[in-house]
Chain A
Amino acid sequence: MAKTIIEKIWEQHIVYEEKGKPDLLYIDLHLLHEVTSPQAFEGLRLANRKVRRPDLCFATMDHNVPTKNLPIIKDPIAKKQITTLEKNCQEFGIELADMEHPDQGIVHIIGPELGLTQPGKTIVCGDSHTSTHGAFGAIAFGIGTSEVEHVLSTQTLWQAKPKTMEIRINGKLGFGVTAKDVILAIIAKFGIDMGTGHIIEYTGEAIRNLTMEERMTICNMSIEAGAKAGLISPDETTINYLKGRRYVPQGEAFEQAAQNWLALATDEGATYDTVLEIDADEIEPFVTWGTNPSMGSGINAHVPFAADFKEESDREALKKALAYMGLEEGQPLTSIDIQHVFIGSCTNARLSDLQAAAEVVKGKKVHPSVTAIVVPGSRTVKKQAEEEGLDAIFLEAGFEWRESGCSMCLAMNDDVVPAGERCASTSNRNFEGRQGAGSRTHLMSPAMAAASAISGHFVDVREMVAAKA
């Protein structure tokens, strides 16, 4: 029978199944960071338990780490979290890329970079954006700390089989439209809980044409659509990306692995529980104006009117969101001024994201009323960008060039947007207070954020790039 990749990977990982119970699923890769793991390790110690497979774990520090003046952490509680992870990894024998390690970076950026992320794996992390790794054709999902503890001690999880959903993106993306615009448009169209209880497979011509880095941006935000996970069937693009990476099989073993990986792709004629479609040519460069990721529109639109919504609860939600965001109904998006730009996060801080932003800012200056920072997703990305001279382009334009980490995506370190100020951000969440109490976040692609940095307000990056050409 024809099967989806989701069913194939699931079935390959069932350790035990029984009617009336969830499946006991084996976990191939467990990624860890400092914020969601300490209580799990503490739990192990209290119960006198071991880590079953330290060789399948990999840890890094990303959420709390400072992005300047390394390695000094001023906040004593944050520091304790960092040293606790060090101690835990040492005690339980887990490989750690610590703050000053050359492999350090945002957990979802370094997994793929190192080749830890591979097709066909089940991958978990105490972090909802674990869905990023699905870009390789893996089932990758975020878990809570109790589940982190469960995986550490048993290398398994009890999981009810999720439903499957296909989101097909037909046709080709237009000039200046990026992966970030695609996923924001999908969430705006179908809603932030459309994926609840599902694993999404993204398919269609537009997806096939994307690079691995772009595919990661799409899968990353599956959680913003409420899905358990999002993935893309592996193809030659996947194989080419992985070849030669540190943790993948090498030489002949790689060829064998590649064949197995390609065979995981969804079979012709396989069916899904739900199918949604969107046309690539209806997608424009996107900007969010509200307080959840579905509250967004194409750049040439305006903030909606309450009267545009049928349901009272949606009208209420709009009013609350606009009050928080300091915006008016009907305001054109291009009229909104900003004070901050953040280019970073596990959604958009890979090399190609920085290249796209640099292309826009090259030879220009950041608007005088804007503070703009670039935070590379990993130390490797930072190094590669510097080799290409991207740091010079950003610095020349008036951006700050920082060390890698989560930074202003969630503002757990010193990188905070002050209350009432507005930030064009390449991250994934625009919830109230996400970038600091009272901060106002607008999500968009790196090119759009870069264009806003120059203009001081939102602008259609296509005009800027076209003008240049």
Chain B
Amino acid sequence: MKPINEVVSVITPLDRKNVDTDQIISKEFLKRIERTGFGKYLFYHWRFDENGQEKKDFILNDERYKESEILVAHENFGCGSSREHAPWSIMDYGFRVVIAPSFADIFHNNCFKNGILPIKLSVAEVEELLANGQQEPFKVEVNLEEQTVTAQDGKVYSFEIDPYQKQMLLNGWDEISLTFQYEEHIAAFEEKQRV
């Protein structure tokens, strides 16, 4: 997994709440057996019309946001299906950070396994960022070590993050190798279960 600490980019304001994983990656793209190549299908039915043409009014199709690495949306981002294809498509598209007031549990977890940083800010803070970002491209600097989002207007937003998950992201650790260090505990547990 690719470690992550600082990300500087314009934000992509996605003015929606309860964005579900069916919208992030639609089921017709779940048939691949690889982890990569999902970026072109991200938000497919919001991005493209029936003829595969870009819909002009969807934010991802605005040239000015094409290089953005930070997605901002309203509450309960990533609800619904557990499909990890959702974070895979977000990552593959080029986003490294998602900012929202709240996330659905499984999606939130899946982000950490893929080197995506999900940041929770308050509703008011997110609305402020969205409002700024919707007017014109708005740059922020995310710093995981410091747990801050610094906006181009100088405003600093701090966020909380679980210390364990923070370390995972900062170091890009492979969780399975980490867990192997607890092999004796697992074996002892299994032994106890047998009796």
- Asked if chains A and B come from one complex, the reply is yes
| Residues in A neighbouring B81, C-beta threshold 8 A | 127-128, 429
- Picked from A36, A196, A292, A410, the residue with its CB within 8 Å of the CB of B20 is A292
- Picked from B22, B105, B179, B190, the residue with its CB within 8 Å of the CB of A24 is B179
* A39 located at the interface, meaning its Cβ lies under 8 Å from any Cβ of chain B in the complex: yes
**Bound Cα distance A155, B189 (Å):** 11
* A433 located at the interface, meaning its Cβ lies under 8 Å from any Cβ of chain B in the complex: yes
CB distance from B59 to the nearest CB of A (A): 15
| Residues in A neighbouring B113, C-beta threshold 8 A | 144, 146-147
Cross-chain contact B110 with A49 (CB below 8 angstroms) = no
Cross-chain contact B84 with A36 (CB below 8 angstroms) = yes
Cross-chain contact A24 with B185 (CB below 8 angstroms) = yes
* A270 located at the interface, meaning its Cβ lies under 8 Å from any Cβ of chain B in the complex: no
* A352 located at the interface, meaning its Cβ lies under 8 Å from any Cβ of chain B in the complex: no
* B64 located at the interface, meaning its Cβ lies under 8 Å from any Cβ of chain A in the complex: no
**Interface with A: B5-13, B27-35, B152-160, which one?**
B27-35
* A448 located at the interface, meaning its Cβ lies under 8 Å from any Cβ of chain B in the complex: no
Least CB separation from A44: chain B residue: B176
| Residues in B neighbouring A155, C-beta threshold 8 A | 186, 190
* B148 located at the interface, meaning its Cβ lies under 8 Å from any Cβ of chain A in the complex: no
Contact with A along B57-88 (1 / 0, CB 8 A): 00000000000000000111001111110010
* A402 located at the interface, meaning its Cβ lies under 8 Å from any Cβ of chain B in the complex: no
| Residues in A neighbouring B20, C-beta threshold 8 A | 292, 429, 431
| Residues in B neighbouring A429, C-beta threshold 8 A | 20, 22, 80-81
Residues of B within 8 Å of A, CB-based: how many?
48
| Residues in A neighbouring B84, C-beta threshold 8 A | 36, 39, 126, 144-146
**Bound Cα distance A179, B180 (Å):** 43
Cross-chain contact A196 with B104 (CB below 8 angstroms) = yes
Cross-chain contact B186 with A15 (CB below 8 angstroms) = yes
CB distance from A198 to the nearest CB of B (A): 9
- Known interface pairs A36-B83, A431-B23. Does A21 touch B164 (Cβ–Cβ under 8 Å)? yes
| Residues from 335 to 386 in A contacting B, C-beta threshold 8 Å | none
**Bound Cα distance A313, B18 (Å):** 11
**Bound Cα distance A49, B34 (Å):** 18
Cross-chain contact A26 with B22 (CB below 8 angstroms) = no
CB distance from A426 to the nearest CB of B (A): 18
- Picked from A22, A141, A145, A437, the residue with its CB within 8 Å of the CB of B45 is A437
* A2 located at the interface, meaning its Cβ lies under 8 Å from any Cβ of chain B in the complex: no
**Bound Cα distance A81, B27 (Å):** 13
Cross-chain contact A77 with B180 (CB below 8 angstroms) = no
Cross-chain contact B30 with A153 (CB below 8 angstroms) = no
* B26 located at the interface, meaning its Cβ lies under 8 Å from any Cβ of chain A in the complex: yes
Cross-chain contact A35 with B30 (CB below 8 angstroms) = yes
- Known interface pairs A39-B34, A313-B17. Does A144 touch B106 (Cβ–Cβ under 8 Å)? yes
* A197 located at the interface, meaning its Cβ lies under 8 Å from any Cβ of chain B in the complex: yes
Cross-chain contact B26 with A150 (CB below 8 angstroms) = no
Contact with A along B151-194 (1 / 0, CB 8 A): 00000000000111000000000011001101001100110010
Give me the interface of A with B, judged by CB distance under 8 Å. Answer: 15-16, 20-22, 24, 26, 35-36, 38-39, 42, 47, 49, 52, 63-64, 75, 77-78, 80-81, 84, 126-128, 141-147, 149-150, 153-156, 158, 160, 192-193, 196-197, 223, 226, 228, 292, 313, 317, 320, 410-412, 419, 429, 431-434, 437
20 contacts between A and B (CB under 8 A): A15-B186, A16-B182, A20-B163, A24-B186, A39-B33, A42-B34, A126-B82, A144-B82, A146-B113, A153-B176, A153-B179, A155-B186, A155-B190, A156-B179, A193-B18, A228-B106, A313-B74, A410-B22, A429-B22, A431-B23
Instruction: Identify 5 new A-B residue pairs, CB closer than 8 A, beyond the known A26-B190, A144-B106, A429-B22.
Output: A42-B33, A144-B83, A154-B179, A193-B18, A410-B27
